[in-house]
Amino acid sequence: MAPSHFEDLIVQFEDISSSHHIKEFMMPEILSIKSGTLISADKINGTDVYNMAGEHLGSIQDIVIDKVSGRAIYAVMSFGGLLGIGEKQYPLPWSVMNYDTNKAGYVVNLDKDDLKEAPSFHRSADFQWTSEYGRQIDHHYNTPSFWA
C-alpha cells in the first residue's frame, strides 16, 4: 500500500526539522490537526460569522497570516453597509472565533453593539497594517498579542 499524502508530509517534516527547537515548536501543532479540520484560505472567504445568540454578524472576507510561522492571526469580517456600500472590515483575532459545524460558520462572543466600538477599516481606504494597529485589536478583544 502506498504511503498517504499526510505520511509523506511527516517524513518531509522530519527530514527538514533536524534541530530540536524546530521540532519542539512545530510538532505539537502538526500532531494536533484532526482529519477534516484543514481548509484552504479561499474556502474561508465568505464564511458566515454569528454571535452567541445565533444572529448573523457578517462574513469572513480575508485572513491575515504570519508569513514566518504560517499561522492565521486574524480573520477580517465584513459588517454593515448595504450591498457592500459603507461596509466596514473588522479584524477578529483568530482565537476569538469558534467554528460551529451545525451553522457551517464561525461563532464569536460579540454582538452588533460590540462591533461599533471595535477597530475597523474601510476596504476602499489606503489601509496600512501596523504593529500598533494589531496591538489595538488584541487589546480590544482582550487576547494575547501577537505583536510582543
Residues in the chain with pLDDT values less than 70: 1-36, 81-86, 124-125
Q: Are 63 and 75 in contact (CB under 8 A)?
A: yes
Domains in the chain with CATH codes:
1-38 (no CATH), 41-140 (2.30.30.240)
**37, three cell numbers:** 479540520
* Global model pTM greater than 0.95: no
User: Which residues have C-beta within 8 Å of that of residue 36, sequence separation ≥ 6?
Assistant: none
pLDDT digits (tens, 9 = 90+) for 20-50: 443 444 444 444 555 567 777 778 889 999 9
Specify the pairing of strand 105-108 against strand 48-51.
parallel
Q: What CA–CA distance (Å, rounded) separates 8 from 66?
A: 25
